[in-house]
Amino acid sequence: MNRTNSPALREGARPLLRSLWLEWVAPLALMLAVVSPLKSSIIDWNWVPTGSMEPTIMVGDLLLVNKLAYDLKVPFTTIHVTAWSDPGRGDIAVFFSPADGSRLVKRVVGLPGDTVELRNDILFVNGRPQSYALEDPSPYRRELPEDPNPLVIREDLGGRSHLIAVLPSKAARRSFGPVLVPQRHYFMMGDSRDNSFDSRYFGPVARDRIVGRATAVIASFDPSRLLLPRLSRFFTSLGSAAPTAPAS
């Protein structure tokens, strides 16, 4: 007789399976049913694998993404239900790349109808150069290994101040345009200007490709130090004028 198929064993297994369903499977399924739509259309998070937004955002940062910043979408789609605002100049936007569909994090530097130009790393918007001031690079030098002497500069982008990095020894596209940003499109650039694959390469980003706005760093782990946590960056806002410097 095959004991594995005996009625007694099957009867004994039923309470165990019922307990497993009630205590584990059903709660997990319910949690996924609730969390997945919320993550899809309301709030999300984004790990940062590259240094294209340094020094504002570091490799290993976990970002909070507000998907309700501009509009409401049907869960699991890019279909807009309604919109109440549009990305502003200086926003840190999360969007799907026109080049390959990957999810990117960049800064909005050009709005629909703007003319954007880059001249030797100086950004011009509608023919006007943005304001710049040199900052002390020492707190950020270890986070910018692509260049032994990086420049950290405060850029005033239409009244909103943030830091950018320039890497003089790196081959980069330091001049571009001018280009006219089409309607319903936005020109995106990384804060690490010489280390970013952005609208200079794949063009302006259509409005319906924008997922939301990155608003804060939830947590941060340094991949160059065996994922040692950067505690000074935990729960810090990305909307402040001066980003938190990395721990030395």
In a domain, 248, yes or no: no
Q: Which residues of the chain have pLDDT under 70?
A: 1-42, 74-81, 83-84, 240-248
* Structural tokens at position 29: 């399924």
Pair (69, 180) in one structural domain: yes
DSSP β-ladder status, 61-66 and 210-222: antiparallel
In a domain, 242, yes or no: no
- Catalytic: 19? no
Residue where the block lists tokens 């001249």 = 119
pLDDT at 69: 80
pLDDT, one tens digit per residue, over 64-95 is: 998 888 977 766 566 666 766 899 999 999 99
pLDDT at 183: 97
Residue where the block lists tokens 């001066």 = 242
pLDDT, one tens digit per residue, over 211-238 is: 999 999 999 999 988 889 999 999 999 9
User: Which one of the listed residues 67, 73, 97, 106 is annotated catalytic?
Assistant: 106
In a domain, 243, yes or no: no
Residue 88's domain comprises 42-237
pLDDT at 170: 87
Q: Give the amino acid at 42.
A: I
Which CATH number belongs to the domain containing residue 206 in this structure?
2.10.109.10
pLDDT at 14: 65
Pair (17, 69) in one structural domain: no
Pair (70, 105) in one structural domain: yes
Q: Are the C-beta atoms of residues 68 and 44 closer than 8 Å to each other?
A: no
- Catalytic: 85? no
User: Could you tell me how many helices (H) and strands (E) the chain has, helices first?
Assistant: 3, 18
Residue where the block lists tokens 């950020």 = 140
For the chain, what is the domain count? 2
Pair (190, 89) in one structural domain: yes
User: Which one of the listed residues 52, 97, 196, 220 is annotated catalytic?
Assistant: 52
Phi/psi of residue 134, nearest 5 degrees: -70, 140
pLDDT at 63: 94
**Cα separations in angstroms, 42 against 17, 28, 72, 161:** 35, 20, 8, 27
pLDDT at 20: 58
Q: Are the C-beta atoms of residues 207 and 184 closer than 8 Å to each other?
A: yes
In a domain, 185, yes or no: yes
User: Rounded distance, CA 98 to CA 148, Å?
Assistant: 32
* Structural tokens at position 202: 């794949």
User: Rounded distance, CA 22 to CA 20, Å?
Assistant: 6
Q: Which residues contact 105 (CB under 8 A, 6 or more apart)?
A: 46, 48, 52, 53, 57, 63, 92, 93, 94, 214
pLDDT at 1: 47
**Cα separations in angstroms, 135 against 108, 121, 152, 157, 165:** 22, 16, 5, 16, 10
- Prior bond of 178 cis (ω within 30°): yes
